[in-house]
Amino acid sequence: MNLIEVKQVSKSFPEGMFGKRTILNDVDLTVRQGDFVVLRGANGAGKSTLIKIILGLQEPDSGSVELFGRSPKTPESKLRVGTIFQEVTPPNSLKVKELINLIRSYYPDPKPTQEILRTVGLEDKQNAFPSDLSGGQKQRLYFAIALVGNPQLLILDEPTRNLDDEGQKTFWEQVQRCQKDGVTILMVTHIKAEQSVLQNSATHILTLADGKLSYDKRPNLASANQPTCVPVTTKQANPVGVLFMQTKAEILQLIRTPIYLVGVLLFSGMASLFPADDSHTLKLLLVLFGAISLLMFSVDRLGKRIAIERVEGWLKLLKVTPLQPSLYLVAKLFMTMVVLMTSLATIFGIGIYKFGIVQSVAEWSLLSSSLLLGIIPFAMAGIALGYIVPPKALDAITGLLIPVALISSGLFADQMPTSLNDVIVLLPFVHYKGLIEFAAGIANDHQLMLHILWLAFYSVLGGLIAKQAYQRDALAQ
């Protein structure tokens, strides 16, 4: 079995109004265990496109690709792959050591963190944030991320870009060490100064031009007779450990960017400005305000975080690790629920301590859990939006959410045409309202089970849409 098998792959992109530009035209590429393959070509020749197809970030128009004998779109195919990408910005609220620990948790047999930091020369920067690193030090960090999973295959896209002389020396020493350890390397570069080094080290040198691959250096006979079989790794990292580390990273990011949480508390604290009317009216206002707050923050927190990580390229890098998308999303959903519970506790705390609204612990618990569970389909919608629209567009969508929710919840059914009400009754806002009315003891339509089933349906539908949006992420492509 070959590590990489590309057969008859073609890829075109739209150009102008009606035309298209062919980047790859029936490309074949085989990478075997122990190979050091160098891919050269001018800017825009399609080198990065080919790498993205090999890693499953992009679909070819035709042809087939296998990575370790599997579809490259599966996380299992990345268990022994390390990658350096261009234009990737790691989360600036995680320190260097924390980033390495997070990535190593995705792999079944990772290298020790301190060994990796020592290898790339970042021991003295392990407690620094990425924003405090120089360009060369950031490139070393990306190399550390590529090595931490103890890879059998390294895919390096312009790995020496921004490296200083010392960084380049360290990089080439590590590459030679990897070669001696039997690590297979596929490297993309167009830097002329490296060609003499590559001519001696590489087993294959190929140039991509006009959609075709041509050999500038072919393997010698000894290399050609190397065994092509490699052990297929099926062991995966402990999902509980991965979820713990991913959730820990989310907690650290939330704590170290407290402005958002302060904004949530300030907005929720506006409940204290409600007029001191009778307790029944106040309870209705607090419940309505709580529901609106959860709608806004669920879409904003989940959608915007994902959208930002997409724009910065961090999500693209996570996609070429064995990280299961479900674990990534569950960690984000968990932290969103923490934010929502904070908002709800603030609103209900104001109701209890300022306005003296009296309810039993069981009644408050039922109301809170109904508000939180009913928000799940909208949180799923926020996830999907995060993969589809940019962060600024999400701000506009969040701003429109309040009037849309009020109209679509059926609050103004008497003023709406019958035909519009027939449509509104199918929307999740109506069923969220029905669930909240039951939990709050407000006059309702006694269709609790119907509302729960519809919300469950929209949660599943939202999850499927979010999964499709994740797979078709245009920015990753």
* Residues 201, 117: Cα–Cα separation, whole Å: 25
Contacts of 435 (CB under 8 A, 6+ apart): 370, 373, 374, 448, 451, 452, 455
Residues 199, 247, single domain; the answer is no
Average of per-residue pLDDT across 109-134:
92
Plot region of 143 (φ>0 → left; ψ -120 to 50 → alpha; else → beta)? alpha
Residues 326, 262, single domain; the answer is yes
**Of the listed ranges 68-72, 304-308, 341-345, 420-424, the one predicted with least confidence:** 420-424
**Of the listed ranges 226-230, 385-389, 410-414, the one predicted with least confidence:** 226-230
Work out the mean pLDDT of the chain and round it to a whole number: 86
Residues 132, 265, single domain; the answer is no
Tell the burial category of 237 from Cβ atoms under 10 Å away from its Cβ (0-12, 13-18, 19+). buried
Confidence of residue 425 (pLDDT cuts 50, 70, 90): confident
**Of the listed ranges 23-32, 144-153, 272-281, 363-372, the one predicted with least confidence:** 272-281
DSSP 136-168: HHHHHHHHHHHHTT--SEEEEESTTTT--HHHH
pLDDT attached to residue 193: 60
pLDDT attached to residue 474: 57
Contacts of 361 (CB under 8 A, 6+ apart): none
**Position 476 in a domain:** no
**Position 477 in a domain:** no
Tell me the range of 42-46, 149-153, 402-406, 471-475 where mean pLDDT is highest.
Answer: 149-153
Q: What is the CATH number of the domain that holds 197?
A: 3.40.50.300
Residues 180, 253, single domain; the answer is no
**Position 200 in a domain:** yes
Domain boundary pick from 164, 191, 221:
221
Residues 152, 288, single domain; the answer is no
* Residues 252, 396: Cα–Cα separation, whole Å: 27
DSSP lists the bridge partners of residue 27 as 9
Domain boundary pick from 159, 193, 221:
221
**Position 372 in a domain:** yes
Confidence of residue 261 (pLDDT cuts 50, 70, 90): confident
Q: What is the phi/psi pair of residue 204, to 5°?
A: -135, 140
pLDDT digits (tens, 9 = 90+) for 137-153: 888 898 899 999 999 99
pLDDT > 90? residue 128: yes
pLDDT > 90? residue 97: yes
pLDDT attached to residue 406: 81
pLDDT digits (tens, 9 = 90+) for 1-36: 789 999 999 999 887 777 788 899 999 999 999 899
* Residues 443, 399: Cα–Cα separation, whole Å: 29
* Residues 446, 458: Cα–Cα separation, whole Å: 20
pLDDT attached to residue 64: 94
Range of the domain at 118: 4-221
CB atoms under 10 Å from CB of 276, counted, come to: 10
Residues 269, 217, single domain; the answer is no
Output 443 or 458, whichever has higher pLDDT: 458
**Position 226 in a domain:** no
Tally of domains within the chain: 2
Residues 243, 307, single domain; the answer is yes
**Position 371 in a domain:** yes
Name the amino acid, one letter, at 119. Answer: T
Residues 337, 452, single domain; the answer is yes
* Residues 473, 274: Cα–Cα separation, whole Å: 43
pLDDT > 90? residue 62: yes
Percent of the chain with pLDDT over 90: 35
pLDDT attached to residue 192: 63
Tokens at 14, concatenated: 């739209």
Residues 137, 286, single domain; the answer is no
Spatial contact of 331 and 244, defined as CB atoms under 8 Å apart: no
Residues 217, 243, single domain; the answer is no
**Position 228 in a domain:** no
pLDDT > 70? residue 225: no
Percent of the chain with pLDDT over 70: 92
Residues 247, 203, single domain; the answer is no
pLDDT attached to residue 104: 94
Domain boundary pick from 221, 255, 271:
221
Residues 431, 298, single domain; the answer is yes
pLDDT > 60? residue 477: no
pLDDT > 70? residue 226: no
**Position 18 in a domain:** yes
